[in-house]
Amino acid sequence: MEVSLKDKIKTIFKLVKNKNQTENVNEIIKRLIDATQKNLLKALKPKLEVISLKENMLLSDALEIIKKYNYTKYPVLGEDGEFIGIFYLRDLLKNLEKINELTIRKLTKPAISIPYNYTILQALEFLRKKRVSMAFVINENGIIIGIVTIEDLVEEIVGDIKGEYEILDIVKISDDEYRISGGLSFDEFLKFIKENFNVELEIESDASTIAGFVMNSLNRMPVVGDKITIRNFIIEVIETDGYRIKFLKFKKI
């Protein structure tokens, strides 16, 4: 489940401020020390596992992939199967009137590359200085072997630290009402309904997240206030980032 870098950093500061979280703070400090030696390959997403777009795709075709995975940026593959740059969702949003005309190639931005032998902290500092959140990782021959993101690097440091300030994808607001992260996997969402409401929803969808499912159901870009109904449940969009769904409200009716 995807968690933003901003939320990870907030978690660290909250843990440090809480005297009852000494054990977790010590664990974070240990991980920070380890990160000075740990190779960035620990956070690498191999090339074959990366969700990417092809340079000759129309924006309209790319939109279907974006709706499914709900990411804000995608590596772009050239005709030879090699990465040639990065496509940002914000550029699609600026060109919605041309989605049946423009190809991904037209809006692809150059990407930076980072050596495979950098440590986690070296990689974080490199990305920070370049003011980017994603980079291609190259081997000793200059060949791209995958990608690394700031979020994944931070995950290697923070890990699955548990405690009072754990970041949750589902938060109970009131009886039968919950706030749900758009990045929650659709399978986990169905599992949540089954376990908490004893209702098994048999829904076939190619969406990987609940945000993707809602976007597919709306069949258009979402706005705050949009609602869909599933059986005896309402899902409402309550926060977006551009046209990316950040949070939803789920309620039994």
The CATH number that applies at residue 209 is 3.30.465.10
Same domain, 204 and 111: no
Tell me how far apart the alpha carbons of residues 249 and 209 are, in angstroms, rounded to a whole number: 15
Same domain, 50 and 79: yes
Residue 12 lies in a domain: no
Same domain, 152 and 65: yes
Same domain, 187 and 129: no
pLDDT digits (tens, 9 = 90+) for 193-239: 988 888 888 887 878 889 989 998 988 888 999 999 998 899 999 99
Final residue belonging to a domain, choices 158, 189, 223: 158
The pLDDT score that the predictor gives to residue 136 is 97
Tell me how far apart the alpha carbons of residues 230 and 202 are, in angstroms, rounded to a whole number: 11
Residue 205 lies in a domain: yes
Same domain, 65 and 97: yes
Same domain, 153 and 51: yes
Least confident window among 32-36, 44-48, 154-158: 32-36
Tell me how far apart the alpha carbons of residues 24 and 30 are, in angstroms, rounded to a whole number: 10
Tell me how far apart the alpha carbons of residues 192 and 239 are, in angstroms, rounded to a whole number: 21
Tell me how far apart the alpha carbons of residues 119 and 122 are, in angstroms, rounded to a whole number: 5
> What is the amino acid identity at position 111?
A
Query: pLDDT grade, residue 185 (50/70/90)?
Result: confident
- The CATH number assigned to the domain holding 90 equals 3.10.580.10
pLDDT digits (tens, 9 = 90+) for 132-164: 889 999 999 999 999 999 888 877 876 644 333
What is the residue range of 190's domain?
A: 170-252
Residue 24: other Cβ atoms inside 10 A: 21
Same domain, 107 and 199: no
Same domain, 210 and 130: no
| The total number of structural domains that make up the chain | 2
Same domain, 71 and 180: no
Query: pLDDT grade, residue 128 (50/70/90)?
Result: confident
pTM for the whole thing? 0.61
Q: What are phi and psi of 65, to 5 degrees?
A: -70, -40
Exposure string over 65-80, b if 16+ CB within 10 A, otherwise e:
bbbbebbebbbbbeee
pLDDT digits (tens, 9 = 90+) for 59-114: 999 988 888 887 889 999 999 989 999 999 889 988 989 999 999 999 999 999 99
The pLDDT score that the predictor gives to residue 174 is 84
The pLDDT score that the predictor gives to residue 15 is 46
Residue 183 lies in a domain: yes
Residue 106 lies in a domain: yes
Same domain, 82 and 107: yes
Same domain, 49 and 100: yes
The pLDDT score that the predictor gives to residue 32 is 67
Q: Which residue has the tokens 């949750």?
A: 168
